Structure 1
Amino acid sequence: MRTPSVTRKPTPKHHPKKAAVFAQQRNPPPPATKLSISDESLSSRGFTLHRTIDNLDLNHLNTVFVAVRFPRRDTGKIRVALEHTDALLWVEYEKTKRPVAFARATGDGVFNAIIWDVVVDPSFQGIGLGKAVMERLITALLEKGITNIVSYSEPRVLGFYRPMGFVADPDGIRGMVYSRKQKRKE
């Protein structure tokens, strides 16, 4: 028996400024993926990679969040969130001893992970730090056997994720976000 074809409405190209878009990684690279920027190259340029929150100044991290148009966050809540994070990476600029790039992932530790808070200080954008952090975070998740990796991001930055194997709306799956701003019909 043939299934009737379904005509889908075209997806509008305009997204609200604060829209959340889920991008799922398809055909993830094997854990031994070659990095676009080596640790040695980062170090020679004055950057240090960190994989724990040790020595991470949360006030400075918050400054980077605000610089990329994230809302200012309570540093106590940031600390709690980071303590419940499965994997994270941040890049410190040696001259200032401040974080300039950051990303983290949460999940069930077995099957699924969501990447959050990918930020690069605007003064350091365009030199590969975001890609360096993402490649290493994805590799860390793949090495744990986690292959369903989703990135939570705004539509304006989807082009950054596509070259790393992420696609929006795979297989017609649509993510949903709970919103407290629900309109009541009375």
Structure 2
Amino acid sequence: MTAELVRAIAVESNWSKVYHLADTYRQQQQWQAAAIAYQRSIELQPDFFWSWHNLADVLLKLQHWQQAVLAYRRAVDIDPDFFWSWHNLADALLKLQHWQQAVLAYRRAVDIDPDFFWSWHNLADALLKLQAWDQAIAVLLAAIQLKPDHQPVYQKLGLAFKQRGDLVVSIQDYRRLIQSPPANSIFATLVTKLEFLLKIADTLANEHQTVGAIIFYYLVLEIDPSRLDVLPKLTHLLQKHQQLQKTITEGEEILVSQQSSLLIAQLTTSGNLDQVSTQQAVDLDSIKIKHHLNCQILPSQLEDLCNAVGWQRRPLEQVEQALGNSFAYVSAWYIQPDQEKLVGFARAVSDGIFQAILLDIVVDPNFQGCGLGTTLVNNLLQQLKLAGIRDIALFASPHLVDFYHRLGFVAQPHNLQWMLWSASC
């Protein structure tokens, strides 16, 4: 856009001409020019709704999130009942990570149009960020009603149930909820849709969301105790969950059970987690192994650990997505009375049936050489085996080949050649 054109728009006093020029730029996807023209139209006529709304849409395209929020707020002040202003306002707030404000805007959007799937979906995302698990569960169920074949929603629903806490408590809470659901709530609707509830349970089970599937099978039986076809499914999942919990417990205790003479690096007397003296030592009670079912890792924590071993930092938003899309992960934490530090990590991606690949296997340099990497990989392998996955692969740096051989991995089995396509190649 030329400086002459900018000056021409700035001095134009015909509001209708400027507004239609802005619309033309918007339709041509000339976002910067459209923004300038809409801003001039607002100077000439500040209370015209469409100038504010369209300006906000253009700013959203330009990824000027904060400016878009201000423009959408002015639009909803002028017309508080226009759905798209509220929905797009919430989208911009989500980009700014203003979770609570995004929740309020999405709730207003679904009040106006309760049939738009993405408002419910994105509202759930904001609630998950706030760790408002029960609210997120209710919203995700509303989204599933609108789009029952959208598989990622079930992954998020399963995550919410896992993060909610103790399975027995969750079963009790949701059985009470289905017995006496609040009027006009999603659960009041689901009571009358037994087959829909069963489909949710089956889908969660197929998506390996064991905790959520167990809860929903219990809800089916609560509504109709005669559904004996549910019992074998529920029994299988309960056994699977019990075995997984046993594995988690064993993983968390494995270091503690080793000889107390096995020592690792300890903090210096200053207590600074970044200053380690290998001349001092503590027993392994200070290291805890946690699985993804009962541990939430911040992307910044993982990137700090990876950076400690010399890996290049990755965008935190993408790391968060990678963690959420992982089939399983296991982490090691150095525990102090006033803080915890992530000192080891490994994760797996998988189709959930046949194959899995181990990624991001990393141990803090100050905690290497004490069996921590072996413990992490073995725990992750155990989780994958419990899920029925037998073909597990990884990419090993040359200096780590012997380490993985000792864990049972075979280099290039059956003369297979591992190959990589990467956008960076």
The alignment's TM-score, normalised by the length of structure 2, stands at: 0.33
Secondary structure class of the residue paired with 1:174: coil
Secondary structure class of the residue paired with 2:257: helix
Q: Does 1:86 align with 2:327?
A: yes
Aligned to 1:108: 351
Q: Deviations over 1:60-117 (max 9, x none)?
A: 2211101222211111111100100001000111024011000000010011000000
Flag structure 2 segments of 5+ consecutive residues without an equivalent.
1-243, 259-282
Secondary structure class of the residue paired with 1:162: helix
- How far apart are residue 44 of structure 1 and its match? 4.7
- How far apart are residue 38 of structure 1 and its match? 1.5
For 2:422 and 2:315, locate their aligned partners in 1 and report how far apart those are by CA, in whole Å.
Answer: 21
Question: Which of 314, 322, 342 is matched with 1:99 structurally?
Answer: 342
For 2:370 and 2:424, locate their aligned partners in 1 and report how far apart those are by CA, in whole Å.
Answer: 38
Q: Does 1:48 align with 2:291?
A: no
Question: Which of 377, 399, 409 is matched with 1:166 structurally?
Answer: 409
Q: Does 1:151 align with 2:394?
A: yes
Q: In the alignment, is the contact (CA less than 8 A) between 1:57 and 1:98 conserved in 2?
A: no
For 1:67 and 1:38, locate their aligned partners in 2 and report how far apart those are by CA, in whole Å.
Answer: 25
- How far apart are residue 58 of structure 1 and its match? 2.4
Q: Does 1:179 align with 2:422?
A: yes
Residues 10-159 of structure 1 aligned to structure 2 (within 5 Å): 38=254, 40-41=256-257, 44-52=284-292, 54-95=295-336, 96-159=339-402
AA in 1 matched with 2:313? R
Flag structure 1 segments of 5+ consecutive residues without an equivalent.
1-30
Q: 1 or 2 for the larger relative contact order (CA 8 Å, sep ≥6)?
A: 1
Aligned pair in 2 of structure 1 residues 73, 90: CA closer, same or farther (>3 Å)?
same
Structure richer in helix, relative to its length: 2
Secondary structure class of the residue paired with 2:388: coil
For 1:85 and 1:174, locate their aligned partners in 2 and report how far apart those are by CA, in whole Å.
Answer: 25
Q: Deviations over 1:125-176 (max 9, x none)?
A: 0011111110000011111110000012322211211101001111100011
For 1:178 and 1:44, locate their aligned partners in 2 and report how far apart those are by CA, in whole Å.
Answer: 41
AA in 1 matched with 2:303? N
For 1:181 and 1:50, locate their aligned partners in 2 and report how far apart those are by CA, in whole Å.
Answer: 33
**Percent of aligned positions that are identical:** 31
Aligned residue pair count: 151
Structure richer in strand, relative to its length: 1
Give the root-mean-square deviation of aligned CA atoms. Answer: 2.6
AA in 1 matched with 2:360? D
AA in 1 matched with 2:344? A
- How far apart are residue 181 of structure 1 and its match? 5.4
Q: In the alignment, is the contact (CA less than 8 A) between 2:326 and 2:349 conserved in 1?
A: yes
AA in 1 matched with 2:413? P
> Which one has the largest radius of gyration?
2
For 1:91 and 1:181, locate their aligned partners in 2 and report how far apart those are by CA, in whole Å.
Answer: 31
